[in-house]
């Protein structure tokens, strides 16, 4: 069941950021911040409106916002697989909401286009994009989108493509000697010198792998994050492979991934991160646990939605249905020493 406060949070965000030609991407003091729009955030919001419309069908504003997002001209995402993955996620969920075959056509067209640069998907995320650096992140969200496409269309093609991402995970993305997923890799797939491990991404991969029936690998990633990434009831940002904290700031999106593993509670997150109005938030707390004053990012509604409203499975792709798990990978292929 969705969190009881989620409907109102979604409505407040929608009413605050909706503009004539799209949606603002941040708020300050409950009011929209006007500025450039990005394909990735607009796609995330389109997904949120579609999913909220399904969870709360009596609130017609959500369906109207989803249709508006669908009708907007798509923004250029270049060769950023990370950004395109959220467009695919939005199309899969809009099709589920409306049955509009145009969404499937767009999904197929966009996926066909990005396969040309899947071999060099870049770093993804919202940080600096360094040339020659790879990351697991674009592939993780592409897997999420492919699973959503399969669940929401029933087309086995998308499941077969999702299996390819899982195979990539085991051959290129997980570090077999140590067990977790390092954030960045060099062009030759070797681990980048900083050897950064983000706690939230260990949780996030664990959720996806569980949906694919890769329970042993999921359990190891989750255990690593639980053992080394939780301090004072919240998840910190990053650690070394030995579990030593390297960044003790607390990011809201990381807490949502920890919530789905039962490591952090919504009551704690709402108390520490949400503003007095009950719906906007601090994007992060600093290493001492103090809120960082900055505009509230609308893109984080995606994370709040998947943790607060995705139902029993905990992933957006499976909020309204049951997925038959894949045959588990033999435990002997997973490094137990993490």
Q: What DSSP string runs through 244-266?
A: -EEE--EEHHHHHHHHHTTSS-H
Say what the pLDDT of residue 133 is: 85
Could you give the angle at which helices 199-211 and 215-228 cross, rounded to 10 degrees? Answer: 160
Q: Closest Cα partner for 229 from 250, 260, 212, 206? A: 250
Tokens encoding 88: 């695919």
CB 326 within 8 A of CB 213: yes
What are the residues facing 134 on neighbouring strands?
Answer: 185
Architecture in CATH of 6-333: Alpha/alpha barrel (1.50)
Q: Where are the alpha helices (DSSP H) in the chain?
A: 6-17, 39-55, 60-71, 81-98, 101-114, 137-153, 156-168, 199-211, 215-228, 252-260, 266-273, 301-308
Say what the pLDDT of residue 299 is: 97
- Helix (H) / strand (E) element for 270: namely helix 266-273
- Helix (H) / strand (E) element for 167: namely helix 156-168
Q: In the block, which residue shows the tokens 């290129």?
A: 172
Say what the pLDDT of residue 63 is: 98
DSSP 173: I
**Which stretches of the chain drop beneath a pLDDT of 70?**
122-131, 310-338
- Helix (H) / strand (E) element for 31: namely strand 31-32
Say what the pLDDT of residue 124 is: 62
Say what the pLDDT of residue 309 is: 73
Say what the pLDDT of residue 78 is: 85
């Amino acid at each position: 069941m969705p969190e009881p406060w989620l409907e109102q949070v979604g409505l407040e965000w929608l009413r605050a950021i909706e503009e004539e030609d799209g949606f603002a991407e941040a708020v300050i003091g409950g009011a929209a911040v006007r500025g450039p729009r990005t394909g990735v955030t607009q796609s995330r919001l389109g997904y949120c409106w579609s999913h909220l419309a399904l969870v709360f069908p009596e609130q017609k504003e959500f369906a109207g916002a989803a249709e508006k997002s669908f009708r907007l001209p798509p923004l250029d995402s270049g060769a950023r697989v990370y950004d395109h993955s959220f467009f695919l996620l939005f199309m899969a969920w809009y099709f589920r909401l409306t049955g509009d075959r145009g969404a499937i056509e767009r999904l197929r067209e966009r996926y066909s286009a990005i396969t040309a640069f899947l071999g060099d998907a870049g770093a993804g995320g919202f940080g600096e994009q360094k040339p020659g650096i790879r990351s697991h992140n674009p592939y993780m969200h592409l897997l999420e989108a492919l699973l959503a496409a399969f669940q929401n269309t029933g087309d086995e093609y998308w499941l077969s493509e999702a299996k390819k991402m899982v195979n990539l995970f085991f051959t290129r993305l997980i570090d077999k000697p140590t067990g977790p997923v390092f954030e960045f890799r060099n062009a030759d797939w070797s681990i980048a010198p900083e050897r950064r491990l983000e706690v939230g991404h260990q949780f996030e991969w664990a959720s996806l792998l569980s949906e694919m029936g890769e329970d042993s690998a999921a359990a190891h990633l989750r255990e690593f994050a639980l053992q080394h990434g939780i301090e004072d009831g919240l998840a910190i940002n990053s650690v070394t492979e030995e579990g030593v904290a390297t960044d003790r700031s607390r990011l809201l999106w990381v807490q949502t991934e920890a919530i789905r593993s039962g490591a952090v509670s919504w009551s704690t997150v709402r108390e520490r991160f949400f503003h007095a109005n009950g719906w906007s938030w601090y994007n992060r707390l600093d290493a001492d646990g103090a809120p960082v004053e900055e505009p509230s990012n609308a893109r984080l509604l995606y994370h709040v939605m998947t943790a607060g409203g995705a139902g029993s499975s905990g992933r957006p792709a499976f909020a309204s249905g049951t997925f038959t798990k894949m045959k588990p990978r033999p435990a002997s292929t997973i490094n137990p020493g993490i």
